[in-house]
Amino acid sequence: MRIGIGYDVHRLTEGRQLILGGVEIASEKGLLGHSDADVLLHAICDALLGAAALGDIGRHFPDTSQEFKDINSLVLMERTGQLIKEQGHTVVNIDSTIIAQRPKLAPYIDEMVINIARVLNISPGQVNIKATTTEGLGWEGSEAGIAAQAVVLLKNG
């Protein structure tokens, strides 16, 4: 068994679509980044790569590469899943948290879980997503950005 953790953060900005867990979220602002800036998927990818001792998302999908400009992060997650599978690992479970003051994310979480499970070819019961605010504290609370954390458990074989 192998455990990995991941963390990601992106600044909120006008003129971008907010995408979390591969789901378009109704919001006045979106996340700024080289790809679609999906902090949830990026945190999970980092956790998966870390558990498999394969480095981090920037090593495999650098933000200096035009190949990944505006890419859908579900594609990055699919490729990450292939990398861990090539190393002989399978996902036992994923637990993640999105930290955002707004918008309310509860209506979107089931769709996020389904997206992640589908792309990684696992059961939705192996994926957990929570959302929390910082009760107005810090940069998340002032709505400057959104962060996500993830923990994964992999098994060999």
132 is in an annotated binding site: yes
86 is in an annotated binding site: no
Are 127 and 117 within 8 A, CB to CB? yes
36 is in an annotated binding site: no
Query: Could you check whether the bond before residue 107 is cis, i.e. omega within 30 degrees of 0?
Result: no
92 is in an annotated binding site: no
35 is in an annotated binding site: yes
22 is in an annotated binding site: no
> How many whole angstroms separate alpha carbon 100 and alpha carbon 35?
19
Radius of gyration of the chain measured on its C-alpha atoms: 15
38 is in an annotated binding site: no
User: 77: closest CA among 64, 66, 91, 88?
Assistant: 91
| Residue 45 phi, psi (nearest 5) | -60, -45
Secondary structure E strands in 15-110: 18-20, 23-25, 29-31, 89-99
80 is in an annotated binding site: no
135 is in an annotated binding site: yes
Binding site, residues? Answer: 8-10, 34-35, 42, 56-58, 132-135
Binding site for a divalent metal cation, residues? Answer: 8, 10, 42
